[in-house]
Structure 1
């Protein structure tokens, strides 16, 4: 069965955003918080403009925090787009919940998808990996008990021995598939948000592996240039990915210009809507023009 399409505009960045805009990762000042909130509402406006321009509302989604984006989740919920919110303490190598009271947070916001970002290399520290799986299993239970789905953003950083120019295309795909297997054995995942996987076969393998536990896959953008994201979408779409969760590649230029006073709200919203629609169209075009690989489905390599 084909998974429903989902195109998520991700704007849940917190330390990354304050670092990019103001050079720090500490607590934002009141003025900085106001600016970040203004920016995140502009991103939602861009998403809604794209929906008004033809992107199916049922396939549109936003991933947003309530720390620097207060009110965005409530507005998104009212418009009927899919709402996702983060649960991780940002910037850590070993996963921790944030906020500490996950059930209360979920009860208040009722997101359709509750998202965790996890750095996990199956050849990394085994004790840290086991600790993460235990913590994430408890978080996933809380998410499902709240009636939300569990969105797992998997990042696979290289170990010192794995670092090198060929890691992303030659080494990381196999590690990502192994990580998915290890995690899914203990943690109930509904949607995987994955980095680019190099060879076409790896995308098909990820989808097949996810299907073994009734999960789907989305592609993340990693802040890459638009042409690079287009190329990744062209690989992911024909092999069963359900869509994408892309953020900075869509909105960063517009947000920076808006907060620098180089453009106005309307122009920023238009630019965000245009870039979002570009990626939606690229995904849909690729899904129509290519067929899945024959014999896909191997779990690891």
Structure 2
């Protein structure tokens, strides 16, 4: 590889996970927390199985919370993969830190990457956008003072006027994403952008070029989409210079749901996660102009 890749398996879902499994977004019961923790350890086991099968360890990463995944980040770090932890209070339209004492949290976890998820539309509420930038500037300072890199997951929700517009995802959102990046980085130092699909390849290339102006790189998120759609997005992103991906539910949801429902066992769930993660790694590497896909033995085909 001419440039380092990063393939993150994202399993930091909290309200989404409790809603999907138990129909609520409140505090998990002790039994529910135990089940979620079990599931997130299985996801890590799948990542490590993929590394054992040949995914380069230096490119493998895990994004996980300690609310529903205690001990998972510690195991990942011990295994030598890149570790990222979330800092946002999940499910809010306007960003808030969680926990409130970000510096202490980072000092305890010492992540390679500290991640925020932010909903930001440059044509949305200007006051809310300005408030978010102020909050995120302070969060970014805390992250850098802790010696971590700042991973910014940018979601661009449509305004009411945009919601029903034709071509939202392919034609309208990509331009708004680039505008949002420009507005945010004027106040907030970002090291890695985690972005939604951007439609035409030129939009991906434009995002990479914009990120390069502040020495940042770009990762593609999966949005829980079917594998064939993620394959298409990954191909465009890799061709355009993205550094990798941060994909979660598209990889592990079927395995986790089956495991917790008693429809599959631990070994099968781990194998499913490993195979799907490795599939996306291979799709990306095959499309990258500077890389080669893995063979069945885990070695580059070059």
Tell me the TM-score normalized by structure 1. 0.95
Q: What secondary structure does 1:98 align onto? A: coil
1:113-155: CA deviations, max 9, x gaps?
A: 0000000000000000000000000000000000000000000
In 2: Cα distance, 1:56 partner to 1:242 partner: 14
The C-alpha deviation readout for 1:96-127, integer Å capped at 9, x for no partner, is: 00000000000000000000000000000000
Confirm or deny: 8 A CA contact 1:254 1:272 kept in the other structure: yes
Please list every run of 5 or more consecutive structure 1 residues that lacks an aligned counterpart in the other structure: 291-301
Mapped partners of 1:245, 1:205: distance in 2:
19
Q: 1:47 and 1:264 mapped to 2: Cα distance?
A: 17
Alignment of 1:82-231 (within 5 A): 82-164=82-164, 165-231=166-232
Match runs of 1:268-287 below 5 Å:
268-287=269-288
Q: Confirm or deny: 8 A CA contact 2:84 2:115 kept in the other structure.
A: yes
SS at structure 2 position matched to 1:36 = helix
Q: In 1, distance between residues paired with 2:62 and 2:169?
A: 27
Contact 2:2 2:290 (8 Å CA) reproduced: no
Residue aligning to 1:31: 31
Report the counterpart of residue 21 of structure 2 in structure 1. Answer: 21
- The number of residue pairs the alignment matches comes to 290
Shift of 1:288: 3.4
Q: Equivalents in 2 of 1:87, 1:44: separation in Å?
A: 20
Query: Cα deviations across residues 151-174 of structure 1 (Å, max 9, x unaligned)?
Result: 000000000111124111110000
1:76 aligns with 2:76: yes
Instruction: Work out whether 1:288 is the aligned partner of 2:289.
Output: yes
Moved over 2 A (4+): none
Change (3 A) 1:178 1:2: farther
Separation of aligned partners in 2, 1:142 and 1:266: 40
Give unmatched runs, 5+ long, in structure 2: 292-302
Counterpart residue number, 1:294: none
**In structure 2, what is the equivalent of residue 297 of structure 1?**
none
Query: Are the aligned partners of 2:117 and 2:154 in contact in 1 as well (CA < 8 Å)?
Result: yes
Following the alignment from structure 1 to structure 2, what is the Cα–Cα distance between the partners of residues 11 and 271? 15
Contact 1:3 1:216 in 2 (8 A): no
Residue deviations 1:28-47, cap 9 Å, x none? 00000000000000000000
Q: How far apart are 1:2 and its partner, in Å?
A: 5.5
Q: 2:257 corresponds to which residue? A: 256
Check whether the contact 1:62–1:83 (CA below 8 A) recurs between aligned residues: yes
C-alpha distance in 2 between matches for 1:201 and 1:120:
22
Shift of 1:4: 1.3
The secondary structure found in structure 1 opposite 2:276 is helix
Compute the displacement of 1:289 (Å).
Answer: 8.6
**CA RMSD of superposed structures (Å):** 1.2
C-alpha distance in structure 2 between counterparts of 1:62 and 1:289, whole Å: 24
Q: Would the aligned equivalents of 1:217 and 1:242 in 2 still touch at CA under 8 Å?
A: yes
Q: Secondary structure at the match of 1:152?
A: strand
